[in-house]
Amino acid sequence: MKKTMILIMAVATTIKATAQSVTYNHDSSKQNQITVMETGGGSLTPEFYYWLLHNNYKKTAAEKNKLGFRTLAGINLYNQVDDAEKIDSALTKRAEVEA
């Protein structure tokens, strides 16, 4: 019985566990499309497809990128930290008074 358990444990430790493994399939054309959408830089492939169907988008992608919006959103969120701290301290004082 003891030998059987040792054998089972040895086999169990050598089996590769793949239930939680992450698969990653890189698709460079999708990555380039996201890069162009977000920053306006990069290139879209296949060239003919995007020239035929997305030419107007491709021309204005650099003007309408999201980096400016992300920067402004980050600044606006940073400015809200002071307000959040004031609200937190006011609620804490209120809870102390009511307790």
Q: Please report how many Cα atoms fall inside a 13 Å half-sphere around the Cα of residue 73, on the Cβ side.
A: 5
Percent of all residues in the chain with a pLDDT value above 90, rounded to a whole number: 12
Confidence class of residue 61 from pLDDT cuts 50, 70 and 90?
A: low
Instruction: Flag whether pLDDT at 94 surpasses 90.
Output: yes
Question: pLDDT tens digit string along 63-78?
Answer: 676 777 788 888 888 8
Where helices occur in 1-99 by DSSP H, the ranges are 2-14, 28-39, 47-53, 55-60, 67-98
Rounded CA-CA distance 36/30 in Å is 10
CB count within 10 Å of CB 36 equals 20
Q: Which residue has the higher pLDDT, 76 or 92?
A: 92
Whether 68 maps to a domain, the answer reads yes
pLDDT above 90: residue 93 = yes
pLDDT of 62 above 80: no
Range of the domain at 65: 29-98
19: in domain:
no
pTM of this prediction exceeds 0.75 = no
> Does 94 reside within a domain?
yes
Question: Is residue 10 included in any domain, yes or no?
Answer: no
At position 58, the amino acid (one-letter code) is K
Query: What tokens appear for 66 in the block?
Result: 């999201």
Is 45 inside any structural domain?
Answer: yes
